[in-house]
Structure formats: C-alpha cells, structure tokens
Amino acid sequence: MRYLDHFYIDGKFVPGTDRARRAVINPATLESVGEIAMGTQADTDAAVSAAGRAFETFSQSDVRFRLEMLRRIAALFDARREDFARLMTLEMGTPISFSRAAQVGGSEAHIQNGIEILQRFEFEKKQGKTTVVLEPVGVCGLITPWNFPVLQIITKLIPALAVGCTVVLKPSEYSPLSAILLAELLHDADVPAGVFNLVNGDGATVGAAMSAHPGLDMISFTGSTRAGVLVARAAADTVKRVHQELGGNSANIVLPDANIGTAVKAGVHAAYRNAGQSCTAPGRMLVHRSQYEQAIDVARHAAEDFRCGDIFDEATMLGPVVNEAQYIRGKGLIASALDDGATLVTGGADLPAGIETGYFIQPTVFANVTRNMRIAKEETFAPIVSLIAYDDVDEAIDIANDTPYGLAAYVQGSDERAARVASRLRVGQVQINQPQWDPSAPFGGFKQSGNGRECGEAGFEAYLETKAILTP
C-alpha cells in the first residue's frame, strides 16, 4: 500500500510526527504484513483542527451534494471490494469467504442503506408555529474495533457524513490496513478536504487524546466495556456526546417447541461467526433439560464440521483469533471451564489438527455449564459454545438476563412463543429463528453494553442535534 506509514489529514496523506512504527501481524501465520506509523497528540490536534475548519462549510452543504458524494463512495467501494477482502484476511485472519460475504458485503449494504435513508430523511419539521430542525452535532471522533475493521467504520462514517458532520477516525492498530485503503477511496471519491481524517495509534495515546479533546463534539466508540469506561471518563470534562457500543454475552434460548437439530446447528454456526469474535456471538446456548442430551450430540457434530486451515482457501470456515492476547484469553477460558467442572464435548485449547502455527482455537463445545461459571459469565470472543440446561422458560429468561451486558439475544421456537420471550429480554436486539440480516435494524445495547444506537435511521439521529425555532 502506498500510504501505510502515513495519516490522512486535511485531504492529504502526511507522515506522522513521530518515528514510532508498529508491525501488523497476520494471526494465521504470525508474520508481519506491514508497519504503520503511530500517532501522537500533535497528529490528533492536526486532524481535529482540519475537521473543525471543514465543518464550517460541510455542515451547510446541500443534501444533494452529500448524496452524490455517498454514491461515488459506493461505486468505488464496489470496484475495490476484492482489495478490501484480501486486506482484512491478511490483517485479522478472517477466511476469505467471510471477508467477502460478511465484512465487505455488510459494509456495502450499510453504504447503500445510508444513501436510501438520506434520500428520504426529514431534517426539518413543523410543529404548529415551531420549526424543529435537526443539525449535525459537529466534529466527531470515531474509535473503531479490529473485529469488523471496515464495517464498523462504515456504520459510523456514512451517517456522520450524510448529515453533515466531519470526522476524525482512529481505527484499531491491530487491523489498520483496510482503514488506510478506505482513506484512499474517500480521497478518490473527492470527499472535501478535512471532512474525513485518519490517525492511526493506540488507545492510550490517540484514543485518549481524542476522548478528551475540546475540539471534538462527539465520540463514537466501539470496543470493550473496560475501554468504554475510560473513554467516557476522559470525555466528561468537555461534556461531549459519547456514543458507545460495548461488550456482550448473548444467550441463545432454544425453546422446547423448536426443531432441536436445526436450532442447535444454527446456534453453533452463529457462535463461531468471525471465530466467535463478535459482540453479539451467542456463546451461551440454553436448552430445555428434556432435549439436552440431543443438543449435545447435534452441537458436537456441528462443531466438528467446521474446517480450519488456509485462510485464503474458500472452503475454510474458521480462522484464528486476532492476536496473542485473545489467544491466551481464549485458552484461559477453556482451562477455567474444565477447572469449574464443565464437560468438554469437542475442541479444546490445542491447535486444530493439521495446523502448526497461528492463533487458532479449535471450534469448542462445553456441556454441563452452569450460569456461575466464568465461561458463562464473561464475553469469550473465541469459537466456544457453552450448553446450559434449564427446566422452564422463566428460568431460561432469568439465566439469559443474568449478565451485566445487554447487547443481543437469540430465541428459537414457534414465532408466537419466541416473541413473548423476546419481550422479556433486557437486550437491544433479539433475533428470532435466525432471521435474514437487516442493515437498517437499530443496533446497540442495554446495561453495560453501551448507549445510543447505530444503523438505520437511529444511526442518523446519533449524529444530529435538535434545534427549536419559535415564531410569533
């Protein structure tokens, strides 16, 4: 890539102010695939200043101007979809088939959804003699995670640009390659100088500088709950808007009237998506005690069908976890489950058969898991399914809600019964019977899973302020 060791500030690729570099490691091979520059306070200041200057004009731009800009972005993204897929496979080890279908395909869907919403969005409404105007919140800092490195940028960036905000982006230092390619694309799409800025770096330096920066009006952060607390604390002194999508520990309730074979297999596949590195991964599978032994057998076969291997082979279903810290943590959770008395059905902490290197964790299933075990209490971010038995639906709901998180849940069974269960779950999104993905569905959580919503019209509203104009 041409600008791997540069930042994108004020419409130009510029070298960082520090000589510090960080290697980007392919977690499947443990080899470096490049080095990025690491940002400083000075780099952050330059990016925020550029965004502030650009906001004065971009916030007043016509909707038609922003629509044409988004259409240019969509066309260029489609033309470079394979480049994005291959970079994400290199930087975070997702199998190429998943990179193409989910990482790139999902990003494209969000871009198109943003265009569709902007075409019909009402920025001004009359309420009697009062005019209610929705205006861009200002200069926005976007801090994004490594697990969906472009999609998570797109879900923040597209609505921010659509409503007239300017942005400073800090992508994850673990998966920055695709973000740099996105900066190149936005430059080629003639996004006005200063409207989009990118500074690579770590959370302790660039992330902290952005969170506390008086020139930013809003921080949109996706990451761990622990890091989200630090962002909120740093942002408090400047009373900026803080929008957060944080951790999760999703339960998958398989109701007694569900088809146990179909439901359990689908649940295992959902839990292993992106090597389990999704904040909505349904790692806790709750099964009625009368169907528990059957569920164990189905889960075992579903897990053992997952193919690990060459991440550029289209037949590979499961890649590695992203880095050494995640690898050590995943293996530690497996060890703790065994220590706590859970039964290892399949998988485990050893490398999958035929694989000699990389941060691969076997597709793993545990049975005889109870709600108080560490494996059931914590977000795993690894390909692990924990089977938990329940005696009645009230108990299943209680177990599902017994977590500090509230991002997502899954229910499988008859539509009517599943809907009743969904109404009692304290989460921001419930998926019933593995529905087709909807890019316009509001996304965000209750409790320690964050605040605010992304995607769809809710994603637009996150970047808007309300002004009331009263007339005689």
C-alpha to C-alpha distance for 323 and 359, rounded to whole angstroms: 7
Q: Work out whether strand 139-143 and strand 166-170 pair parallel, antiparallel, or are unpaired.
A: parallel
Which residues are CB-neighbours of 293 under 8 A, at least 6 positions away? none
At 200, give phi and psi (nearest 5°): -80, 155
Q: Helix H segments across 104-150?
A: 105-120
Q: Which of 165, 279, 308, 455 is catalytic?
A: 279
Phi, psi (degrees; rounded to nearest 5) at 467? -120, 130
CA dist., res. 171 & res. 150, Å (int): 9
By CB atoms closer than 10 A (0-12, 13-18, 19+), residue 407 is buried
On the CB side of 453, how many CA atoms lie within 13 Å of its CA?
A: 17
340/369 Cα distance (integer angstroms): 9
Report how far residue 276's alpha carbon sits from residue 84's, in angstroms, rounded to the nearest whole number. 21
How distant, in Å, are the alpha carbons of 147, 292, 445 from that of 440?
20, 35, 16
Active site residue 279: yes
Catalytic residue among 245, 308, 379, 454: 245
Q: Report the candidate in 152, 137, 162, 155 with the shortest Cα–Cα distance to residue 62.
A: 162
CB atoms within 10 A of CB 31: 12
Catalytically active residues are 245, 279
